[in-house]
Amino acid sequence: MEVLIERMMYASRWLLAPIYFGLSLALVALGIKFFQEIFHLLPHVLEISEADIVLVVLSLIDIALVSGLIIMVMFTSYENFVSSIDLKEGTEKLAWLGTLDTGTLKSKVAASIVAISSIHLLKIFMNAKNIENEKLMWYVLIHLTFVISAFAMGVLDKKSKQH
């Protein structure tokens, strides 16, 4: 009975595979949004201000960072919790594939969240004249919370590797 339960529990890891595949659908949605932003920008590029172009570009960078984060989470989590990804000889392989553990992934996710939050905060600052001071304060506090959390996670991860 114990062996059967353990085999079923081990096999249940495959329930995660559709979730990780679902993240690839989120990439499709982000890709559509990315090109939608570009197609909205290009016809008006000569008419809109430099600040507005920068805001659109920051949105595009935001989408790119989130997309990279999804790839990292999708592949690393799949390899750590479901199965290794077997690629044929001569197939292009991401250099970090198979090298990230969950602790490293957690640190990279935290750093990515800080980067994404930084871009969002920069977009807000570029439009600061239209945002009330109390909201600006909350945006900064939330961003600082992400920064401090990422820093603390990095310190804890480093300490746990030393022991």
Residues 132 and 59 in one domain: no
For position 148, what pLDDT does the model report?
Answer: 94
Q: What would the pLDDT profile of 39-71 be if each residue is shown by its tens digit?
A: 999 999 999 988 889 889 988 999 999 999 999
Average pLDDT, the chain: 89
Residues 4 and 84 in one domain: yes
Residues 53 and 79 in one domain: yes
Domain that holds residue 109: 101-163
Q: Which helix (H) or strand (E) holds 80?
A: helix 50-81
Provide mean pLDDT across the span 28-48: 95
Q: What would the pLDDT profile of 101-145 be if each residue is shown by its tens digit?
A: 777 788 888 888 898 899 889 888 888 888 888 999 999 999 999
> Are the CB atoms for 51 and 130 separated by under 8 Å?
no
Whole-prediction pTM: 0.78
Residues 113 and 141 in one domain: yes
Residue that is last in its domain, among 44, 60, 91: 91
Residues 55 and 28 in one domain: yes
Residues 113 and 61 in one domain: no
Using alpha carbons, select from 104, 90, 30 the residue that is nearest to residue 60: 30
Kindly write down the DSSP assignment for every residue of 100-141, as one continuous string: --HHHHHHHHHHHHHHHHHHHHHHHHHTGGGS-HHHHHHHHH
In a domain, 96, yes or no: no
